[in-house]
A and B are shown apart, each in its own frame.
Chain A
Amino acid sequence: MDFSYYPGCSLESSAREYHLSAVAVSRALGLNLVELEDWICCGATSAHSTNQLLAYSLPASNIALAQQAGHDLVVPCAACYSRLKRTDHVLRNDLCRREELEQVVGFKYNGSVNVMSLLEAFTTRLGPDAIEKHVKVPLEGLKLACFYGCLIVRPPEITRFDNPENPTSLDVLMKSIGASPLMWSYKTECCGANLSLTAGSTVKKMVTRLLEMAEEAGAQAIVTACPLCQMNIELRRENNNGCLPSFYFTELIGLALGITNSKKWLTKHLVDPFPLLRSLSLAV
């Protein structure tokens, strides 16, 4: 299965391991991710906070590229996904704005491209049963708090994916690789997102609460599907919540599939996951 792939800026630097694991694991499972040629930054929160037309035009230019490439578009970063999905929603449903965006970007929208998060692609295009068949090292005994964050499931009328209050798609994927996802109530809370740099002390309080809730539920680690969530969870924590590691879901699938490079991704983490993995005999 061929898909266009929009990595987004974080995956070129601070979330390098998400990019490497996403591409490697997708390939192993039969999803061929082809990076969009000459993609542009989605504009993120800064664009929609500042200028509405800009906030739609930047993603629209990428939808135009995906249209040319002729495949559905897969987006690993939850924030980029949200901007692209929202823009596609506007292009699809608001004729007045469609006309304006077509003019600004210089293309003709034809609605042929489905925009989806990488988690959605794994869930709906592959499915847990297909993934389970590839598992070589089941992650037995690994108790996980699955953290969906905000934008993979909200706004529900735009994402149309999973349950916005109690999503389970990531839990199901983690079960399929042998891990044990736990019930907890902070699945869809906010990590503080891009306020990390501008209001760091507030984000620290949010992340600390989140980690406390995960620990209370009995989690040994958190699993994420977003570079902003992952970065905040690793970086913005009080010192006493020192050791609870956090993984991208693609890294854990990589470990379970026995992909040799998976150890390299994990060395890029700021919170060392190896003590936990060794204790479960999942890493040397």
Chain B
Amino acid sequence: MENLFQNQSFAMEVRKKSGQPIELCYQCQKCASGCSMARYTDYTPNQILRFVQLGMKEKVLNSSMIWICSSCEICGARCPNEIKMAEVMDVLKHMAISENIIKEKNIYTFNDIFLNTVKSRGRIHELTMMSLYKLKTRDLFSDVEHGIKLFLKGKLPLLSRGIRNRKLLKDIFNRSIDSVNKDNFVKCSN
């Protein structure tokens, strides 16, 4: 492995953090054929993997694909080399975030608001989360009609219960954020 990815710290890092045997990809393109999102974005999963093998870090971290991937898991289920590409896509997003390269800002913003909601209450309150997202992305009107319909159907209640065990919640978030700074969790990867 060390020889295969000589001078390729990027490929080695992706391999280690994802635990996936990325060196085995021989470009059969089964992942691309089945991919739910490929037709709507810039690269196919096999292209992303080739870029990683070749150490083209900037190109990969700047791609839309790593964000648009919906983790539908079709690619991983069909890969003859058992490379779980969705895991690789996640690791690439984590790396992009830590380098502050955010190609799909709306998706990043959504995730950020989602996790902050969980952090503060332990559960998602859909109405609050959607409103915050619409405010932050300054896209106030695109879904108003849908929002009103849902509200009238009683599907967006105004109030929700938060959880009681806030200490556990706080611990989980603090330790998880800490692990990224210390690269703790990586020690368990293959």
Q: Which residues of A contact B (CB under 8 A)?
A: 9-10, 12-16, 38-41, 43-54, 57-58, 61, 94, 96-97, 100, 104-106, 150-151, 154-156, 164-165, 188-190, 192-195, 197-200, 202, 205-206, 235, 267-270
A49-B111, A156-B77, A195-B107 are contacts. A41–B124 as well, Cβ < 8 Å?
A: yes
Q: Are A14 and B172 in contact, CB atoms less than 8 angstroms apart?
A: no
Contact B77 A51 (CB under 8 A): no
Q: Which of B76, B77, B110, B126 contacts A14 (CB 8 A)?
A: B126
Q: Which residues of B contact A200 (CB under 8 A)?
A: 142-143
B183 to chain A, nearest CB (A): 11
Q: How large is the interface on B (under 10, 10 to 19, 20 to 34, 35 or more residues)?
A: 35 or more
Q: B interface, by DSSP: helix, strand, loop or mixed?
A: helix
Q: Could you tell me if B176 and A53 are in contact, using CB atoms closer than 8 angstroms?
A: yes
Give the shortest distance, in Å, between A194 (CB) and chain B (any CB).
Answer: 8
Contact of A53 among B76, B150, B168, B179 (CB under 8 A): B179
Q: How far is the CA of A205 from the CA of B106 in the complex (A)?
A: 19
Assess whether A198 is in contact with B188, with CB atoms less than 8 Å apart.
no
**Inter-subunit contact A96/B187 (CB<8 Å):** yes
Within 8 A of A (CB), among B158-179: 160-161, 163-165, 168-169, 171-173, 175-177, 179
B106–A199 contact, CB under 8 A?
A: yes
**A192 lies within 8 A of B70 (CB):** yes
Closest chain-A Cβ to B142's Cβ sits at a distance in Å of 7
Q: What 0/1 readout, one digit per residue, does chain B (55-87) give for beta carbons within 8 Å of chain A?
A: 000000000000010111110110000001010
Taking beta carbons and an 8 Å cutoff, which residues of B are in contact with A? 36-37, 40, 68, 70-74, 76-77, 84, 86, 90, 93-94, 97, 104, 106-107, 110-112, 114-115, 118, 122-127, 130, 133, 142-143, 146, 149-150, 153-157, 160-161, 163-165, 168-169, 171-173, 175-177, 179-180, 184-185, 187-188
Tell me the bound Cα distance from A267 to B153 in angstroms: 8
Given A9-B123, A39-B163, A50-B115, A197-B110 contact (CB < 8 Å) = yes
Task: Indicate whether A52 sits within 8 Å of B94 (C-beta atoms), given known contacts A13-B157, A39-B163, A46-B115.
Answer: yes
Contact B188 A94 (CB under 8 A): yes
Give 24 CB contacts A-B under 8 Å.
A9-B123, A9-B125, A13-B160, A14-B126, A16-B154, A16-B155, A38-B165, A40-B122, A41-B123, A43-B118, A45-B71, A48-B90, A49-B107, A50-B115, A54-B172, A61-B168, A94-B188, A96-B188, A97-B185, A164-B77, A195-B68, A195-B70, A198-B106, A202-B68
